[in-house]
Structure 1
């Protein structure tokens, strides 16, 4: 694999051992200044979530309670960072922290009630969204979809950083997002207008499952971390992803459930029809099948994504799905990605999630991404082999491939 014209973080030894990549120290001023340029004159706030927000956010009571690692990291790295010089250096005002009720689902709409650190109840629609230029949502569950919808109404910019931890601060949020954006665009050009993608999954028993996704020649999109200018937008950080909204899908792919159960999912017409047990708990499979029967929209595939960065495993999908050589599918709402699946299409509000299914060596060690292939007109390219970017993508990152 040629590496002479590649950045050092794409060298062979770093690709094999991304944990050895060297990162600069996390710098809040550099991060916000790069992502949100310009920041001068902007008013910024932080949103976070609790099961009981009124009592826990008042006087920062959560800081003296056990648990709440994401919220404590939000206070330490972002709230304190803003108050201790970043606001002044970036020419911003505000820096307040607010809490809303935990949604218990990825990308579910937020309840309107929110509380400030004095314990006062406020309204997101009336008091927060119209009053801030930049909103940083550092939460347990992703709020990218609801905030993307709200920013178009109220005109703010922002970022979602759910699952924040020390590894993410020291790697995925310490990188130069101008470089991340450049690499994401190179990969986007290498894949944009693809007609279809096929993914071969190799199981431990040697079986090969193949999932086919019809993309219809659509323009690929990118999550690249830059939310610059004055256009309302929400960045998902850490960023570094090229993605499509599937128009069709069929075949089979494996699924590893939260309890470790392994299943094979059958897909047709973009929808998961059923799950069958490979190993583990049959009750887990039965629950998934019952959910699919009760509300078929929960099994609709809404995203196909590819990571573009070289990052260490953080054990949080927000970063780990951005790693070069991995790919992911997602079920559920995709309106924030330009798709046609909206919350109103689900039987129950709590079903209208956007749930990523990440395929990565640490996440799914029981099966291998044997190969990912792309068809674009008469062009046929291998994108990934054995969780490694294939030559075509490496050449693209070196600047020698594109649309």
Structure 2
């Protein structure tokens, strides 16, 4: 793609044209399934036994993610995709909702006849490909399970129509190529500095030590024989911080804004900017009760040009955005494990996305990479820098 056209699309990502969603193309590209590869779909409910039996959830209001899983994946597999890709299976199962990002799944699972089964004994050990289309992300627990039971799969939580028609309609060979170009541009960075400009004019700076580690990528291709889980839509480069300090703003779910203080890689305190003081107090109480909940486990950068979907699973993959995450990072090669938390329900991996639509109350004025004597600007005002654009343009 010519550089001028890339920049025009960056300014107006809504103008990017996508081909129609094609399940056979998606699965064929991402997995390259071999003959007789056995595939299944996992979805989640508060009451899975009742709602999955005879697909009862289809006659109930709500459940948009699960209905998308049925319409676009289950029916797609049954109506020609399995035959085209020479796969078998295609069954759908339901497990109990975890109520938290990347929390471990209970072993209980139910089939569409209402039979009570075991994820370990009846799913992970019997299928080659597991597609988890759920309310909350299951990437971390499935990454651990795939290594134990030798399967591959994908997590597609929060699936909606925008994601289907953009983030899952792209050419994942190209997504992988672009992610690798940015990965090579950032790998072995010593540190990253992020400047956040608040509405009152203050500038907060967060410093993240990376220790010269190899950058990693979430690029969507999961087509080897090695057990692996793709997080779809894909398209990011990420690090596991070894250290962090400074401050960064936080927009809570209720709209409350706070300033988070970071020491020794951990969020230690939140201070109210505006909104509900009780929200800040609750966060501080959680940090005091279980300090591991404030540990920074990821720094990620989006690598794709995509429209805003309203779901972080896609929106954190948008070029010009970055995100931090707290909590477990074992699925990323980090050292924060679920059993290190005081309570099971705290052992989540929670992304904090910085993007214009998500955090309009503050701007990322600049992101800088330091690598030895080299210092490069990566993002300015939520736009990729010339350094990043040149990396993407290489080879075109």
> What TM-score range do you get, normalising by the shorter chain?
over 0.9
Q: What is residue 234 of structure 1 aligned with on the other side?
A: 229
Alpha-carbon distance in 1 for matches of 2:171, 2:255: 36
Q: 1:343 aligns with which of 332, 338, 343?
A: 338
Give a deviation string over 1:126-158, Cα, whole Å, max 9, x none. 110010000000000000000000000000000
Count, aligned residues = 396
Root mean square deviation of aligned Cα: 1.0
Q: What is residue 95 of structure 1 aligned with on the other side?
A: 90
Q: SS in structure 2 opposite 1:311?
A: coil
Give a deviation string over 1:201-237, Cα, whole Å, max 9, x none. 0000110000000000000000000000211000000
Q: How does 1:2-401 map to 2 (within 5 A)?
A: 4-5=2-3, 8=5, 11-399=6-394
Q: TM-score, normalised by structure 1?
A: 0.97
Q: SS in structure 2 opposite 1:315?
A: coil
Alpha-carbon distance in 1 for matches of 2:69, 2:387: 39
Give a deviation string over 1:169-224, Cα, whole Å, max 9, x none. 00000000000000000000000000000000000011000000000000000000
* Structure 1 stretches lacking a partner, 5+ long: none
Q: SS in structure 2 opposite 1:187?
A: helix
Offset, 1:269: 0.1
Asked if the contact 2:33/2:87 (under 8 Å) is kept, the reply is no
Alpha-carbon distance in 2 for matches of 1:307, 1:129: 30
Offset, 1:378: 1.1
Q: SS in structure 1 opposite 2:28?
A: helix
Alpha-carbon distance in 1 for matches of 2:390, 2:133: 36
Alpha-carbon distance in 2 for matches of 1:5, 1:352: 43
* Structure 2 stretches lacking a partner, 5+ long: none
Give a deviation string over 1:359-400, Cα, whole Å, max 9, x none. 000000000000000001111100000000000000000117
Give a deviation string over 1:47-99, Cα, whole Å, max 9, x none. 00000000000000000000000000000000000000000000100000000
